[in-house]
Amino acid sequence: MDTTHQSLHADVLVIGFGKGGKTVASTMGGLGKRVVLVERSERMYGGTCPNVGCVPSKALVHHSRKGRPEDVPQEWYERSVGEVQALTKLFRGVSYDVLNDMDTVTVITGAAAFTDPHTVSVETGDGHLTVTAETILINTGSEPIVLDIPGLRTSQYTVTSRELIDTTILPGRLAIIGGGYLGLEFASIYGQFGSQVTVLEAAPKIFRLVDDDVAAVAEGILVDEGIELIVGANITEIRDGETSATVVYEKDGQQHTLEADAILAATGRAPATGDLALDAAGVRTTERVAVEVDEHLRTSQPHIFALGDVNGGPQFTYISLDDSRIVLDQLIGEGKRSTADRVAIPHTLFITPPLATVGLTEKEARAAGHRVKIASQPVAEILPMPRSYIVEETRGVMKFVIDADTDEILGAALLSVEAQELINTVALAMRHGVTAAELRDTVYNHPTSTEAFNGVLATIVRADT
């Protein structure tokens, strides 16, 4: 539509089409409230997850494991990217239609910036639009961090995760800067497609969120698949050549070089607040440029909320969804729900097999003063879990950290087939005080991966006295 000099008033204005914002928009629109949702890019309807995050990356994890011996790597990769792009396009269209088809919701594509606490100016392809609202939600997500390493930002071979999964050319040699969730997932994906992958991590170890025994198993799986992991690497320079780049790094006091056809910057994401003119709205930000919020996700302006990555909380889609529950409870509920209600939140690193965690590690539990007992077993040795042999994925380990006095589960690390599903059962048990013995002796369907709990939790390998 022609938006030149138009003005709109809404009960609720949502800036950004992320999971939390679109959920609030749909709910409030369904209640008859006038909702306006502004999204900068037509490629981001639905937010990061279905477009450039969880959906395409996890779809590539799936496709990377479907290769046949006769497949030519480049053709296999190009075909996979095409199928993934078709999937994200489908999800994007559904996200847009669900909201735009509501009589009470207007979706606008354009760049929004505050002009005062209740007003934003939106620059669209057709002109200028002013939107005022009683309640405003900031849901603009985050953007990749590209470190200020000499030559990195200007190199023609540097890519973000979004740019990498958009290309149909499989890099022969892929250097990944950063050994966190993103870097390791992409290392696993592209290594399986056939790239020669090197992960460069500045810290002295990777898999820092798990105990050393679990980390050793996970590292072994990646190394066995041909991925080179270099820790303690201080990258000093990127030099572009005619057909590739040279990555210069220091390790143990010596200088090394690495040739790469593509360099993935995987050193985290920062809240996307730079273009919102938050000062004009009187909205405060933190030192890390996140929108400052309280436990109810209200900003320094009580009628303005911030949801998802932009508020500086954990950068997960399911956290953004929970943010929407908190905000909706403020808008139409009792106003009691808060971020303090979140306990036993699970996380999954989608290497193959996936590594899922929840709660405390053994090291953290002991540091917190708990007397602990440990149940740990390699997946290949868990007899009640034939599922791992059925699907031909017996790599990995399961480890539980248990309070020796109460038998309550303090934490778990599951490196196994279907760990991303199993961890939700463990998290639910932890939230409701289900003991390790109860989880051990529960009747599970057969043959399933969940049956592993019958075996692992029967094996206490170490207990405090």
Q: Is the residue at 368 inside a domain?
A: yes
Region 414-418: mean pLDDT is 97
Give CA–CA dist 36/34, Å, rounded.
7
Region 6-28: mean pLDDT is 93
Region 371-379: mean pLDDT is 96
- At which of 283, 316, 341 does a domain end? 341
Residues 354 and 458 in one domain: yes
Q: Is the residue at 180 inside a domain?
A: yes
Tens of pLDDT, residues 262-293: 999 999 999 999 899 999 999 999 999 999 99
Give CA–CA dist 218/187, Å, rounded.
13
pTM: 0.90
The CATH number assigned to the domain holding 383 equals 3.30.390.30
Q: Is the residue at 245 inside a domain?
A: yes
Q: Is the residue at 246 inside a domain?
A: yes
pLDDT in the model for residue 46: 62
The CATH number assigned to the domain holding 250 equals 3.50.50.60
SS (H, E, C) the chain: CCCCCEEEEEEEEEECCCHHHHHHHHHHHHCCCCEEEEECCHHHCCCHHHHHCHHHHHHHHHHHCCCCCCCCHHHHHHHHHHHHHHHHHHHHHHHHHHHHCCCCEEEEEEEEEEEECCEEEEEECCEEEEEEEEEEEECCCEEECCCCCCCCCCCCCEECHHHHHHCCCCCCEEEEECCCHHHHHHHHHHHHHCCEEEEEECCCCCCCCCCHHHHHHHHHHHHHCCCEEEECCEEEEEEECCCCEEEEEEECCEEEEEEECEEEECCCEEECCCCCCHHHHCCCECCCCCECCCCCCECCCCCEEECHHHHCCCCCHHHHHHHHHHHHHHHHCCCCCCHHHCCCCCEEECCCCCEEEEECCHHHHHHCCCCEEEEEEEHHHCCCCCHHHHCCCCCCEEEEEEECCCCEEEEEEEECCCHHHHHHHHHHHHHCCCEHHHHHHCCCCCCCCCCHHHHHCCCEEEECC
With bands split at pLDDT 50, 70 and 90, how would you rate the model's confidence at 166?
confident
Residue 68 has pLDDT above 90, yes or no: no
Region 52-60: mean pLDDT is 73
Q: Is the residue at 38 inside a domain?
A: yes
- At which of 247, 267, 287 does a domain end? 267
Tens of pLDDT, residues 73-100: 888 888 888 888 888 787 777 777 788 8
With bands split at pLDDT 50, 70 and 90, how would you rate the model's confidence at 121?
very high
Q: Rounded to the nearest 10 degrees, what angle do helices 54-64 and 73-100 cross at?
A: 150
Residues 363 and 310 in one domain: no
- At which of 315, 341, 367 does a domain end? 341
Lowest-confidence range among 57-61, 208-212, 232-236, 405-409? 57-61
Lowest-confidence range among 69-83, 165-179, 357-371? 69-83
pLDDT in the model for residue 277: 96
Residues 84 and 170 in one domain: no
* Average pLDDT across the chain, whole number: 92
Residue 3 has pLDDT above 60, yes or no: no
Residues 13 and 131 in one domain: yes
Region 22-51: mean pLDDT is 83
Tens of pLDDT, residues 322-353: 999 999 999 999 999 999 999 999 999 999 99
Region 179-192: mean pLDDT is 94
Which of 30-34, 56-60, 63-67 is predicted most confidently?
30-34
Structurally, how many domains does the chain consist of? 3
Residues 323 and 397 in one domain: no
pLDDT in the model for residue 5: 57
Residue with tokens 């053994």: 362
Residues 29 and 125 in one domain: yes
Residues 378 and 442 in one domain: yes
Residue with tokens 């939106």: 122
Residue 2 has pLDDT above 50, yes or no: no
pLDDT in the model for residue 316: 87
Residues 278 and 203 in one domain: no
Please indicate whether residue 9 is annotated as part of the active site. Answer: no
Residue ranges making up the domain that contains 134:
6-142+270-341
Q: Is the residue at 150 inside a domain?
A: no
Pairing of strands 196-201, 173-177: parallel
Residues 258 and 130 in one domain: no
pLDDT in the model for residue 1: 45
Q: Is the residue at 288 inside a domain?
A: yes
Residue 57 has pLDDT above 90, yes or no: no
User: What b-and-e string marks burial along 234-254, b requiring 16 or more CB atoms within 10 Å of the CB?
Assistant: ebeebeeeeebbbbbbeeeee
Residues 259 and 330 in one domain: no
Residues 11 and 138 in one domain: yes
Residues 333 and 378 in one domain: no
Q: Is the residue at 117 inside a domain?
A: yes
pLDDT in the model for residue 462: 60
- From the list 9, 62, 256, 446, the catalytic residue is 446
Region 382-395: mean pLDDT is 91
In the chain, the percentage of residues whose pLDDT exceeds 70 is 95
Task: Identify whether the C-beta of residue 97 lies closer than 8 Å to the C-beta of residue 90.
Answer: no
pLDDT in the model for residue 4: 54
